[in-house]
Amino acid sequence: MPVHAARGRRPDRAARIASLVLATCAAAAPLAAWPQAGAPAGRPAAAASGPASFEQRFAVCLACHGASGQSQTPLTPSLGGQPAFFAMTQLFLLRDGRRGEPVMIEQARGMSNDDLRAFADAISKLPPPRPPTDEADPLRFERGRALAVQHRCGVCHNPDFSGREQMPRLANQREDYLLKAMREFSSGKRLGYGAAMTQELSGLSDTDLTDLAHFFAHQPPANAAGR
Ligand code: HEC
Ligand code: HEC
């Protein structure tokens, strides 16, 4: 496993990002001010054809991320059930190109702070994703469960992995996306809102990450496992 060469600098950068995100949240107008249709607040009015409504803009997001919060697109996360604050922090990082893939950075680039807030709020109201239709491999599920207990992933992500505040929901997220995210934290490619994840995954092998992804993706609907 690669050594995290940049680790010494990481907490500094992370702290700077954290304060930027908090400043953005504080600066954003109350959500009630979001216009249901018409020009988004804080942006110049668009030309003759008229700006897209928020619903129309959100429909573009869901074309990739899945209607009803459940993604059918490879390597593209389900957004259903994600805490608003987590979505907000990630949109902030994506807008600045500090994480993510070009397709998504492009989506976030022009967003105003009010946009971040409105999309984060809309995301948090989508229903959580359902378990996948394929059965879990019992051996890999059990190995993943044991690792999650041993490394206390539930302390931050909640015992049922439903997420809270800046910590994402992991339960029933797409397995391919969970693995990609963990590999990127582990290699130092994905810069988080904080340094937590790179630290939490240090010492875990790629097989461990694969088993963890399998376990989180296959949570029962009640999310009762993994305590
Ligand atoms: C063309 C497909 C596409 C569109 C359209 C799109 N996204 Fe994404 N989005 C992605 C991909 C791919 C990722 C994963 C990036 C990565 O691997 O780091 C992502 C990641 C995210 C994340 C981070 C979630 C997490 O769990 O890490 C959020 C939040 C998000 N998108 C919100 C939005 C919003 C809001 C819109 C609409 C304004 C939108 N997306 C439109 C493809 C898309
Ligand atoms: C100290 C708190 C903490 C602990 C413990 C923790 N996490 Fe996280 N995790 C976070 C935070 C905060 C994020 C959001 C990423 C960021 O920093 O921007 C995150 C993000 C993630 C993501 C990305 C999901 C997405 O949708 O983008 C995965 C996957 C993940 N964690 C898995 C794990 C696993 C597996 C463990 C246990 C080995 C674990 N986490 C333990 C705080 C924690």
**Nearest protein Cα to ligand 1, atom 5:** 61
pLDDT for position 4: 44
- Take residue 131 and report the two structure tokens written for it: 């378990």
- How many angstroms is it from 146 CA to the middle of ligand 1? 30
pLDDT for position 169: 98
Q: Which residues of the chain have pLDDT under 50?
A: 1-11, 25-48, 223-227
What is the C-alpha separation between 176 and 68, in angstroms, rounded?
19
**CB 42, CB 112: distance < 8 Å:** yes
Degrees (nearest 5) of the Cα angle 182, 118, 26? Answer: 85
- How many angstroms is it from 51 CA to the middle of ligand 2? 36
State which of 197, 202, 210 you would mutate to test the pocket of ligand 2, scoring each by most atoms of that ligand within 8 A of its C-beta. Answer: 197
What is the tens place of the pLDDT at every residue in 79-104? 999 999 999 999 999 999 999 999 99
- Take residue 31 and report the two structure tokens written for it: 């959500």
DSSP label at residue 62: H
| pTM, to two decimals | 0.85
What is the C-alpha separation between 29 and 120, in angstroms, rounded?
13
Residues 68/77/36/193 CA torsion (nearest 10 deg): 140
**CB 120, CB 87: distance < 8 Å:** yes
pLDDT for position 155: 97
State which of 107, 172, 186 you would mutate to test the pocket of ligand 1, scoring each by most atoms of that ligand within 8 A of its C-beta. Answer: 107
Amino acid at 182: M
**Nearest protein Cα to ligand 1, atom 41:** 61
pLDDT for position 160: 96
